[in-house]
Chain A
């Protein structure tokens, strides 16, 4: 395959692929797996699987409350995972890293505790929350709930026809009434990379808090939480080659200290009396109950794996694959890409529609050829509505994606058109 010569691909791509056992399996009919659904969830390298198995086989115990050797080992592994995540996102302090169940829970934690906050952070009638039309439902619904509960108003950035944030009305959107600006760094549907730091600067000028949904950014861009301008930032473990059941909320210490607790229970307290309780300092203040221990340990191994390969190299790989995919998709008659057509400022998720074939049917035919993509609204219904479509087909690549897999996709799309007799 001549395409493997593309400049910008990860060197030793075959070695990387060999780290992911699932990529070696075949599907019905003996077809090789072409996994192009990594924005949905990424596959897991052997080291993550082994680390989790080893923890369960040899070190399993509850954390922070078991007074024995296993308890110490388990606590150590769990807290070491926090250190690894802190290093991965360049957090100034490990205590600012809070483990949650996923990105959705992290965003809900922020929106709920803000709704309950008193003092400087309190939100009420007349205050405004600003989001964008390209958010995942996880970064829309919690804010709708917050505004319903507090009487604040929800506003949002619209999108341009080429799938970028329409910043033309930024001055009327971000005002002294704005309390929170919450936006995605990279869109899971359009692929767009947003100018987060620039928007954060404007938000900070009016004293608003900036919440960044980094669910699609953390897998493929080097993240530096301070440079990003975020006050709070969320991502989810299963998209960064880690397991499901674990997510991360990072927040600036001053903000996290000011927010009230989220869930009450074990671990998050300092002392409990029947008359009232005091709370543990961060991060434990926000980690009530037994945490997802082995999942956190797996996430630690995952971010170490990505760091070892290097996020700059991964980003370059994604851009190379995305460029190649955009070129390939452009050759399919009747195919329209939703989102920027220039790979330079987009991530590795490409949503598209094909004239005359519903996305569900596209995905079905692709699946029969071993090509796994996602069809539907990708939890971004408003963004779809903005482009006048109800759903789309989405391919998404990752560090293990090869140009040959993109070729397989394009070929399968041609086959789809002929299957539905579109010529």
Chain B
């Protein structure tokens, strides 16, 4: 059984859950969103700082399990410093993997460390944990872009 556990709690995940890269809320930011997972109560507040089309910073404050904490950490590491357009394929690939019920073969070149969440994708109860901060990012991006167009 601990074999299954190990495929869920890969070292990358345990490591990110401890280090929580880029955590803490920072200025400046164009959009701030608050997302919750109503089933377990996990929460994340996420701020996005855009500079033109470049994601300069994603800062966040979260309360959640190791899967949701690690996912926020990995996500910020992957997405910060690139343009929103460059990030889109990463976002899409992550979503596809998490919604693929463990049937989707993840592309490590695109997802890098985020492929570690393939184990969580097999567990219905943990999919939302892994997606929480990613959905918050998507929401924040939409808001920031909307605001910059008015």
Report if B116 contacts A (CB, 8 A): no
The CA of A420 and the CA of B13, in the complex, are separated in Å by: 12
Tell me if B41 and A369 are in contact (CB < 8 A): no
CB neighbours of B39 from chain A (8 A): 376
Tell me if B2 and A360 are in contact (CB < 8 A): no
Tell me if A360 and B1 are in contact (CB < 8 A): no
CB neighbours of B65 from chain A (8 A): 358-361
Q: Are A31 and B66 also in contact (CB < 8 A) when A364-B126, A377-B40 are?
A: no
CB neighbours of B136 from chain A (8 A): none
Task: Encode A353-391 as 1/0 by CB contact (under 8 A) with B.
Answer: 000001111001100110000011100010010000011
The CA of A377 and the CA of B123, in the complex, are separated in Å by: 20
Task: Encode A330-371 as 1/0 by CB contact (under 8 A) with B.
Answer: 000000000000000000000000000011110011001100
Tell me if A29 and B40 are in contact (CB < 8 A): no
CB neighbours of B102 from chain A (8 A): none
The CA of A420 and the CA of B9, in the complex, are separated in Å by: 9
The CA of A29 and the CA of B43, in the complex, are separated in Å by: 33
B5, B42, B67: the one within 8 Å of A368 (CB): B5
Tell me if A368 and B4 are in contact (CB < 8 A): yes
CB neighbours of B63 from chain A (8 A): 390
B8, B41, B42, B43: the one within 8 Å of A364 (CB): B8
The CA of A420 and the CA of B129, in the complex, are separated in Å by: 18
Report if B64 contacts A (CB, 8 A): yes
The CA of A419 and the CA of B39, in the complex, are separated in Å by: 25
Report if A28 contacts B (CB, 8 A): yes
The CA of A28 and the CA of B2, in the complex, are separated in Å by: 12
Chain A interface extent, by class: 20 to 34
CB neighbours of B8 from chain A (8 A): 364
CB proximity of B73 to chain A, nearest CB, Å: 14
Q: Are A391 and B1 also in contact (CB < 8 A) when A358-B65, A360-B67, A360-B129 are?
A: no
CB neighbours of B66 from chain A (8 A): 358, 360-361, 420
CB proximity of B4 to chain A, nearest CB, Å: 6
The CA of A282 and the CA of B36, in the complex, are separated in Å by: 42
CB neighbours of A369 from chain B (8 A): 1
> B interface vs A, CB < 8 Å?
1-2, 4-5, 8-9, 14, 39-43, 63-67, 69, 123, 126, 129
The 10 closest A-B pairs by CB, nearest first: A360-B65, A358-B65, A376-B40, A377-B41, A368-B1, A390-B63, A29-B1, A368-B5, A391-B41, A361-B66
